[in-house]
Amino acid sequence: MFQEHQEHINMSKYFNEEAIEQAKTPRKEEEAEDTIQTNLDKITVSQETELSPAFDPIQRINNGFKHFKINEFNKYPDYYRELAEKQEPKFLMFACSDSRVSPTNILNLRPGEAFMARNIANMVPEFNQLKHAGVGAIIEYAILALKVEVILVIGHSRCGGIGRLISLPDEETSYDFIDDWVKIGETAKAKVLAEHPHASGEELQTLVEKESVMNSLGNLLSYPYVRSGIADKKLKLLGGYYDFVCGNFQTFEVDDIKPTTNIQE
């Protein structure tokens, strides 16, 4: 994932530098338009060559929806009629954006059962109205508007985001957004390294993946609506770990989560 991202960064850098050089020499409007079109054509050709010739995205989307329409929507009209009026999910789930980790599939969820939040390495940042408003809005809406009863944070095996976290600091490669985001898990990484100084490779990766879930659960306590929900016994926090290599799912209840230092009243 990181290699593909770097290739896109390099391609963008190439076109930006080329555009700067062209801007140094005045040209006629027609010549400038031709240059822009040439660069756009290069990008288009590059994108087309990256796609498998056998893969038709529109056809795949249509086929997927037809399957859903026949086997779900048309088969259970009453269910979807009620769902159209309102949603009452019991869960708010934080899961990784990894294409191999879809809670809907691995937990056999139906539409309406879970309010979803997916991001790199399934992380929950501390309460911060300026830096992480998107995550905060999801949590706030799920608790105050939807009245969810459970927040489940799902970690998983061979997580690329956790792998990047472990590799930091990296002076050779940097990313615009990824590095800053995965640093949310620095506390989890430090804890694992302190408790397991000799861990390495896959063992270290798994330990940090699981501890990162605990770190996110702790960060959830920095949100006032989460603490209020727990205090009123209307909300429960759970952790999960999906090992897609062995096909196992582990759920753990957490009664002694340590809150972060960034508590919001």
What are the strands, taking DSSP E only, across the chain?
91-96, 114-119, 150-156, 236-243, 248-253
User: Is pLDDT of 148 > 80?
Assistant: yes
Q: Look at the alpha carbons of 105, 106, 110, 112 in this order and tell me if their dihedral is positive or negative.
A: negative
User: Is pLDDT of 47 > 80?
Assistant: no
**Run of H or E including 192:** helix 186-195
The pLDDT-based confidence of 104 (bands split at 50, 70, 90) is very high
d(CA 120, CA 110): 23
Question: What is residue 260's DSSP assignment?
Answer: P
Select the more confidently predicted residue: 24 or 192.
192
User: Is pLDDT of 11 > 50?
Assistant: no
Helices 186-195 and 160-167, interaxial angle, to 10°? 70
Lowest mean pLDDT among 49-53, 79-83, 111-115, 124-128: 49-53
Give the pTM.
0.77
- pLDDT at position 171, please? 83
Please choose, from the candidates 219, 217, 238, the residue with its C-alpha nearest in 3D space to the C-alpha of residue 125. Answer: 219
User: Is pLDDT of 61 > 50?
Assistant: yes
Question: What is residue 149's DSSP assignment?
Answer: S
* Average pLDDT for 173-189: 95
- pLDDT at position 170, please? 86
- pLDDT at position 33, please? 55
- pLDDT at position 68, please? 97
Select the more confidently predicted residue: 165 or 23.
165
Burial 162-194 (b: 16+ CB within 10 A, else e): bbbbbeeeeeeeeeeebbebbebbebbbebbee
Q: CA-CA-CA-CA torsion for 188, 109, 139, 161, nearest 10 degrees?
A: 30
**111 token code pair:** 């539409």
The pLDDT-based confidence of 42 (bands split at 50, 70, 90) is low
- pLDDT at position 209, please? 98
User: Is pLDDT of 22 > 70?
Assistant: no
Identify whether 169 is preceded by a cis peptide bond (ω within 30 of 0).
yes
User: Is pLDDT of 3 > 50?
Assistant: no
